[in-house]
Amino acid sequence: MNGQVLLIEDEPNIIEAIKFILAREGWQVFSHSNGETAVQTVRDRAPDVVILDAMLPGRSGFEILRELREDATFASLPILMLTARGQNKDREMAERAGASRFMTKPFSNAEVLDAVRSLSGT
């Protein structure tokens, strides 16, 4: 067992794909799709890695990321930010908000797996 990943994403096909890729490698994957309750879900689950979509219903991933980084408990939590828009300004916003790593959609299975492995140190 590698650890626990919390996937905060609202697109069912992406949730299924990432869950499949990571579970096959021994990760325990939980998903959450509501931006308004995402921070509380991170607090409740205390995952080893978070994969966070930039655009969520209720609240943006950037706001969620900033709130997590303001909490000392989650200041060093590895967070992979996903976005459908790969413009530089999105990457810069993610970096400023405290993303550990940034990935644009569509992505390959290998990219996701490599990112989670490197963020978790496994």
Helix, strand, or coil (residue 5)? strand
Determine the Cα angle at 87 with ends 120 and 53, to 5°.
Answer: 45
* CATH number (domain holding residue 30): 3.40.50.2300
pLDDT digits (tens, 9 = 90+) for 15-45: 999 999 999 999 999 999 999 999 999 999 9
- pLDDT, mean of residues 99-109: 93
Are 30 and 47 in contact by the 8 Å Cβ rule? The answer is yes
What is the predicted pLDDT for the residue at 88? 86
**Tally of domains within the chain:** 1
Query: Of 85 and 81, which is predicted with more confidence?
Result: 81
Are 9 and 53 in contact by the 8 Å Cβ rule? The answer is yes
- pLDDT, mean of residues 84-89: 82
Supply the pTM of this predicted model. 0.96
Q: Could you tell me the pLDDT band of residue 59, with boundaries at 50, 70 and 90?
A: very high
- Nearest in space to 38 (alpha carbons), one of 25, 19, 13, 57: 57
Domain with 109 in it = 3-120
Q: Could you tell me the pLDDT band of residue 2, with boundaries at 50, 70 and 90?
A: confident
- pLDDT, mean of residues 57-77: 96
At 75, phi and psi to the nearest 5? -60, -30
